[in-house]
Amino acid sequence: MMPTVHALCVEPVVDVFKEHTIAGGGGVHVSVGAMELGLPVHLHLVTGNDADGNFLAEHIGGLFSRNARAPTELSHIVGGHITRRITYADNGDVQDYTPPQDLSDATIAGVEASIESASSGDFLVLSGATPPNKNMLYGDLAREHAEQRVVVDTSDPLAMRYAAKEQLLFMKATKQELKGALNTLSRVYDKRCVMEALIPDRMEMFLVTNGKSGLTLYGENTCVRATPPAAHASPVGAGDSTVAAAILAIAKEKPLEDVARFAAAYGSATAGKQTLGNIHEFQDRIPKVSVLTRSMEFRI
């Protein structure tokens, strides 16, 4: 039986477009992507006690209930904050948005209680923005759940630094996010110390995505560069799909090259869409991904 993917989303977003409204947030997208790929999923969703929070829970619950590929479960943790909402203009620009919200200690305690349902060997995906007042949250959870295979995907430089200190299966970031984290942290810490903090000594892999150019997966003294076939013009939406597909490959005990190949295939199948790519597109793209493996150390 496949291990369950426990995805935590502490900053989900209601994305409002002119003609439709959808659920957003890293943990949401990873869980739906993993579900589409046939993995058992348990999403731990944190929202405010408001209409947008109820929309997210109902919308995702509906997606899960219509799924027939694998077991799904939704745990809805309700806090006293405001659920994030982003409204887009016709040209795609952000028209209005709710900034990231602080979470109370009571809400964090609810999160910790919820993910206690994860069993040894399950995947625990900590994805998306961290609350402004809880930069150490992902690092703390990774340390407390070392018996799970922990994956961290965040653009927050401090959250990245704290999480990198713990035993992780892999961390995922875009090339731009990684460079931004280095620049931001180097203003406070010595640059060499920052580099050492982000080098994956305590994680098995580091996945770095680079838009339409594909991705690079770093393992122990090995670098795998995976370039997908030409896809949509925009790489938006591809990152969370790479995480879901990489987990699928790892669950199937695939070698490093196939982990990169799966991630690039599903990322390119999703790029530029308003929904995640489906499993048929993913399977069609796998053999079309170009993979180059060489020996080298991790570098930013």
Place of tokens 């896809």: 231
Using DSSP, state whether 285 is helix, strand or coil: helix
DSSP reduced 3-state for 176: helix
How far apart are alpha carbons 239 and 267 in whole angstroms? 6
Please report the pLDDT score of residue 257 as a whole number: 95
Domain 5-295 class in CATH:
alpha beta
The first and second tokens of residue 197, run together, are 């903090």
Helices (H) and strands (E) in the chain, counts: 10, 14
- Write down the pLDDT at residue 233: 47
pLDDT at 195: 54
The residue behind tokens 């869409």 is 273
Which residues are 171's β-sheet partners?
152, 206
Distance of CA 15 to the CA centre of its chain: 17
Q: Which residues of the chain have pLDDT under 70?
A: 185-202, 231-237, 271-277, 296-300
At residue 178, the pLDDT reads 81
Q: What is the pLDDT of residue 140?
A: 96
pLDDT at 202: 64
Question: Under a CB-based contact definition with an 8 Å cutoff, are residues 43 and 7 in contact?
Answer: yes
Q: Where are the domains of the chain?
A: 5-295
pLDDT of residue 193: 58
